[in-house]
Amino acid sequence: MATTASRSQQIIEQAQRYIPGGVSSANRLVEPNLVFTRAQGAYLFDAEGRRYIDYHAAFGPPLLGHCHPEVQQRAAEAMASIDVVGVGSSELEAQLAQKICEHMPSAEKVLFCNSGSEATYAALRLARAVTGRQKIIKFQGCYHGWHDAVLMNVISPADKVGQPDPLSAGMLPQAIENTLVLPFNDLAAVEQVMQEQGSEIAAIILELIPHNIGTVLPHQEFVQGLRDLTSQHHAVLIFDEVVTGFRHGLGGYQKALGVTPDLTTMAKAIANGFPLAALVGRADLLDHCRPGGDVFFAGTFNAHPASVAASLATIEILERPDSYPHLFDLGTRMRDGLTAMVQRHGLRATVAGFGSVFLLYFMEPPIESYEDLLRNDAETFVTYRRALIKRGIYELPVNLKRNHISLAHTAADIDESLAAADAVLTSFS
């Protein structure tokens, strides 16, 4: 008897017929291959109508929750009166740039683009232009986007750590050679490279918290050391706050650490799901990118009115006194609940995170660099998440990926998720 394909199955078949792999971004094709047709607040709904509490959060944007009504309304209002005109200054863009400068310690001026990759590309080009140097330093485990200068050494297999690990064919060998990859939190390694090659280093770029491998917290001395070394050697310090910007505070994580870089990149949560990114930093550096300046910066959709309006609305909501306490309290509730569970079940596991970010590694501490995370039991990590998905809790079933809580989540959502985690972990112990 012929069986009818489910709605999900039909969508997957059509997508895979016309789109390579059926998806338009790496890491979107996972097992189980679910098709979500609705996203609302803290929840996702699949094509069969099943509800999931969403902690994947599209890798981070919907900080206020999916389809936030105030954000949607402000974006729609902006679009009702103007779309892209592609010439001249715009009122909302100027307001947003001012707001960001008021909040972000490193922001004296702002340039808008559409994605985190564009922002880090521009930051590195600018750093090379102002220093006249070619090499950059990045850290093992940090992801900064898909372009040749940085697409390497993120979640590397053990035998690739300590050597170039490019993530795509077709990357320019010269770009790969000019990127030096060092261990995170290892100031001595950076000092040594700066001592030997400091006059060739244009920039050091880092995720302040490498959230692309979950959560590895930086040592204050490490970040301060990078600030001192880059100043001493006249290199540009770039904090990639694409994940942490707005999520950990309107001033980014740099405000919490009290260390100010020369340039900062932001994207993801800054417009709560609308495509917007920003390169912010010292005015004397960003001014190189002014029209007619020596560094070219452009984009047809840069500072798109819908995204800019969405970002202004997002900032207003985050400025309300209860917003960050709610996000951080729920993060603590989740991490505390998981920690108690790990102890109760006697598991070899570690709860990590900061603010609204959390995850459960299946390994013992310490966790100070990517090299430590090679001890994580990747199979159990993914099995655990697939079991949670069966219970309606969506954590991306990919090794080392972090989870995000939004303003739309409630204590009841966290408790429901903890109960599901308990049931799954009981079957592990």
Half-sphere exposure of 191 (CA within 13 A, CB side): 10
Identified catalytic residue from 143, 324, 361, 384: 143
Asked about 186 being catalytic, the answer comes back as no
Identified catalytic residue from 99, 109, 138, 268: 268
Asked about 143 being catalytic, the answer comes back as yes
Q: What are phi and psi of 135, to 5 degrees?
A: -80, 150
Site string for ligand PLP, 64-103 (x = CB under 6 A): ----------------------------------------
206 forms part of the interface with ligand PLP (CB under 6 A): no
The answer to whether 359 touches 403, Cβ cutoff 8 Å, is yes
- Of 41, 62, 141, 145, which lies in the binding site for ligand PLP, with binding defined by CB under 6 A? 145
Structure tokens at 313: 């609305």
Q: Which is nearer to ligand PLP, 212 or 406 (CB)?
A: 212
Site string for ligand PLP, 103-132 (x = CB under 6 A): ------------xxx--x------------
Dihedral of alpha carbons 247, 250, 251, 255, sign:
negative
Q: Which is nearer to ligand PLP, 57 or 100 (CB)?
A: 57
The amino acid present at 364, given as its one-letter code, is: E
d(C-alpha 9, C-alpha 83), whole Å: 36
- Of 46, 207, 262, 413, which lies in the binding site for ligand PLP, with binding defined by CB under 6 A? 207
Could you tell me how many residues make up the chain? 429
SS3 content of the chain, % helix, strand, coil (to 5): 45, 15, 40
243 forms part of the interface with ligand PLP (CB under 6 A): yes
Asked about 361 being catalytic, the answer comes back as no
246 forms part of the interface with ligand PLP (CB under 6 A): no
307 forms part of the interface with ligand PLP (CB under 6 A): no
The answer to whether 28 touches 19, Cβ cutoff 8 Å, is no
Q: Among the candidate windows 41-49, 158-166, 239-247, 350-358, which touches ligand PLP by CB under 6 A? A: 239-247
143 forms part of the interface with ligand PLP (CB under 6 A): yes
Closest alpha carbon to 212 in 157, 303, 120, 143: 143
Q: What CA–CA distances, in Å, run from 241 to 110, 143, 345? A: 14, 11, 36
Q: Determine how β-strand 277-281 pairs with β-strand 109-113.
A: antiparallel
Identified catalytic residue from 240, 262, 372, 413: 240
CB of 1 to ligand PLP, least distance (A): 45
23 forms part of the interface with ligand PLP (CB under 6 A): no
d(C-alpha 287, C-alpha 227), whole Å: 22
Residues in contact with ligand PLP by CB under 6 A are 59, 115-117, 120, 143-145, 207, 212, 240, 242-243, 267
Catalytic residues, by residue number, are 143, 240, 268
